């Protein structure tokens, strides 16, 4: 007998898994999502946050572009608070770019993407950040920024309100089987090592770049090619709108203004494993150089950190590699393909099309379970209960301005001054058993994402681990240190200019005022940061709540 039972187990807490969980719950199917890290800690949270109009794919990957057009419009309706409707520019800076333009215009027309050529002078008036190298400009009103963390959390909370469950830091180590039918999963808690079984009628593998590892537990093959992309975070928005290079997608050709920062992306390199994502100096350097061709602010803005994510490109068997591969997705019905009933995988795709991916795989599984309730995720807004979504985080985007300095926020106590995170924004998460590190708080609130990279808020959050979560001092202190270390790993790659001054403030507070370096030599509980998980603060009390 399994420890618990449910209808469907969803493996993977990225945008796809979260979308599947919500879709299942809206069709009235019981579901549990298991994720070996935190929500949005894999590909989704490490994306560049571009809400694709489809312009980037319309020449080489028309099917993906068309999906982006439709899904982008749906997201603007159902996930208003995760979208910043910035619009975007596609700019040409070289002869090659100019030669690409006719194909781009044709692609936009075929995909149904609104695309307007505007004179460079006019474009500079609207967007003074455009560099002197810019020769021609297209305005693509449907590009924007999609907050990947908020998107996942919004989907998961919507599903939880409908009875779905979430278990983070829970890894699937095996399957329960009845002949050739999957009847459950065996899971292991990353922090406690505790094994649990969950019985179910079907399992959906929504693990993206990790899909092959999960499938292998059932001796079936799913070929996903992990392709690394490196991003650089700039300390301010740099531009009003997203800026894309009008050429065959390449390195350093996207700038996405995202809340208080801008994200510069990205590179493309095959990696042997989705968790082997070294950030090479050449990549960082090259991206900043390329980005500076499009916008003036790129080389003068303070680069705050670099991070790497992994694209889960699905190998359709073609010869293509990396960016040449389709960004399209596929539903794999393992019953039809491999003779294993009750198991389906959803692979490929991208964050912008997560909802459609979820719909397709849920259609398949629901049909197998005999559930005929249609999908309604394209109609019902994520925040169908305004009050609870409001609790998630106060969203500057809702006010129609990037960052409302002064007024309301200026008079409130803040946990994170950089990202304007208030105490009431973080408070509910300390009660959520799925939240098990300070990085998890960051992903849900943006606390620690700003210029000081958690130098200040880490202390306040550690304090709340004691007062609101009931942890002891050493455990909370270790969580604080791990949070700082995780942030530091990204800071190191862009360590020049005023970054050094910022680091002196961080070490001045934590090493000189707090003597944290010596404290860490004493008997603090061990860190999990070495495993790339940013430290957990699981305790018996928290475990008992689960």
Is-contact 421 393, C-beta < 8 A?
yes
Q: Is 327 in the site for other proteins (CB under 8 A)?
A: no
In this chain, which of 476, 528, 535, 536 binds other proteins, going by CB under 8 A?
476
Q: Is 516 in the site for other proteins (CB under 8 A)?
A: yes
Q: Which one-letter DSSP state was computed for residue 437?
A: S
In this chain, which of 515, 531, 532, 541 binds other proteins, going by CB under 8 A?
515
Q: Is 242 in the site for other proteins (CB under 8 A)?
A: no
Q: Is 281 in the site for other proteins (CB under 8 A)?
A: yes
In this chain, which of 1, 318, 401, 411 binds other proteins, going by CB under 8 A?
411
Three-state DSSP state, 417 = coil
Q: Quick count: other Cβ atoms within 10 Å of Cβ 518?
A: 9
Nearer Cβ to other proteins (112/423):
423
**DSSP for 257-289, written as a single string:** EETTEEEEE---EE-SSTT-----HHHHHHHHH
How many angstroms from the chain centroid is the CA of residue 15? 7
Q: Is 408 in the site for other proteins (CB under 8 A)?
A: no
Q: Is 438 in the site for other proteins (CB under 8 A)?
A: no
Three-state DSSP state, 537 = coil
- Measured from the CB of residue 179, what is the shortest distance to other proteins in angstroms? 50
The owner of tokens 């969950």 is: 198
| Contact track, other proteins, 454-473, x by CB under 8 A | --x--xx-xxx-xx----xx
- Measured from the CB of residue 475, what is the shortest distance to other proteins in angstroms? 9
Q: Is 276 in the site for other proteins (CB under 8 A)?
A: no
Please give the structure tokens belonging to residue 1: 């007998």
Nearer Cβ to other proteins (262/529):
529
Nearer Cβ to other proteins (372/522):
522
What are residue 182's DSSP bridge partners?
A: 177
CA dist., res. 38 & res. 40, Å (int) = 6
289 Cβ neighbours under 8 A, 6+ residues apart? 252, 299
User: Sign of torsion, CA 281 282 285 287?
Assistant: negative
Q: Which one-letter DSSP state was computed for residue 416?
A: B
Tell me the site size for other proteins, rule CB under 8 A. 60
Nearer Cβ to other proteins (327/422):
422
Q: Is 269 in the site for other proteins (CB under 8 A)?
A: no
| Contact track, other proteins, 412-431, x by CB under 8 A | xxxx-------xx-------
CA dist., res. 244 & res. 234, Å (int) = 16
The owner of tokens 């796809």 is: 16
List interacting residues with other proteins (CB under 8 A).
Answer: 281, 285, 410-415, 423-424, 456, 459-460, 462-464, 466-467, 472-474, 476-477, 480-481, 484-485, 488-489, 491-497, 499-501, 503-523
């Amino acid at each position: 007998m399994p420890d618990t039972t449910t209808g469907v187990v969803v493996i993977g807490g990225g945008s796809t898994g979260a979308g599947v969980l919500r879709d299942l719950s809206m069709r009235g199917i019981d579901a549990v999502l298991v994720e070996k890290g935190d929500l949005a800690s894999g590909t989704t949270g490490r994306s560049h946050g571009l809400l694709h109009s489809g312009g980037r794919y319309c020449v080489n990957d028309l099917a993906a572009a068309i999906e982006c057009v439709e899904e982008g419009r749906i997201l603007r309706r159902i996930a208003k608070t995760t979208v910043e409707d910035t619009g975007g520019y596609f700019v040409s800076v070289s002869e090659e770019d100019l030669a690409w333009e006719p194909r781009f215009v044709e692609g936009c027309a075929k995909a149904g993407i609104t695309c307007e050529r505007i004179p460079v002078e006019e474009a500079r008036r609207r967007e003074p950040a455009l560099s002197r190298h810019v020769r021609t400009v297209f305005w693509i009103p449907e590009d924007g920024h999609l907050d990947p963390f908020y998107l996942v959390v919004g989907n998961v909370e919507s599903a939880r309100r409908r009875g779905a469950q979430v278990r983070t830091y829970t890894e699937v180590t095996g399957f329960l089987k009845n002949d050739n039918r999957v009847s459950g999963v065996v899971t292991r808690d990353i922090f406690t090592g505790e094994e649990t079984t969950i019985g179910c009628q079907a399992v959906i593998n929504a693990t993206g770049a990790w899909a092959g590892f999960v499938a292998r537990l059932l001796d079936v093959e799913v070929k996903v090619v992990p392709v690394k992309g490196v991003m650089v975070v700039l300390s301010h928005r740099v531009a009003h709108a997203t800026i894309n290079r009008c050429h065959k997608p390449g390195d350093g050709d996207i700038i996405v203004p995202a809340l208080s920062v801008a994200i510069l992306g990205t590179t493309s390199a095959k990696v042997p494993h989705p968790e082997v994502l070294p950030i090479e100096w050449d990549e960082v350097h090259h991206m900043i150089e390329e980005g500076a061709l499009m916008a003036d602010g790129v080389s003068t803005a303070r680069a705050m950190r670099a991070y790497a994510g992994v694209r889960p490109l699905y190998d359709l068997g073609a010869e293509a590699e990396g960016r040449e591969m389709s960004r399209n997705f596929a539903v794999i019905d393992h019953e039809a393909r491999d003779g294993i009933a009750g198991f389906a995988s959803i692979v490929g795709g991208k964050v912008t099309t997560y909802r459609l991916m979820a719909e397709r795989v849920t259609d398949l599984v629901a049909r197998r379970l005999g559930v005929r309730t249609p999908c309604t995720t394209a109609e019902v807004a994520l925040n169908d209960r305004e009050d609870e979504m409001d609790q998630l985080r106060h969203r500057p985007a809702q006010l129609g301005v990037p960052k409302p300095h002064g007024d309301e926020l200026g008079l409130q106590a803040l946990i994170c001054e950089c990202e304007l995170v208030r105490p009431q924004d973080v408070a509910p998460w300390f009660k959520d058993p799925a939240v098990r590190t300070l990085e998890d708080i960051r992903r849900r609130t943006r606390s620690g994402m700003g210029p000081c990279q958690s130098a200040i808020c880490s202390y306040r959050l550690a304090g709340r681990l004691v007062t609101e979560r009931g942890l002891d001092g050493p455990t909370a202190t270790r969580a604080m240190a791990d949070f700082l270390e995780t942030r530091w790993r990204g800071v190191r790659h862009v360590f020049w200019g005023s970054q050094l001054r910022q680091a002196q403030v961080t070490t001045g507070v934590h090493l000189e005022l707090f003597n944290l370096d010596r404290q860490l030599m004493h008997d603090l509980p061990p860190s999990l940061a070495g495993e790339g998980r940013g430290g957990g603060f699981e305790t018996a009390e928290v475990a008992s709540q689960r």
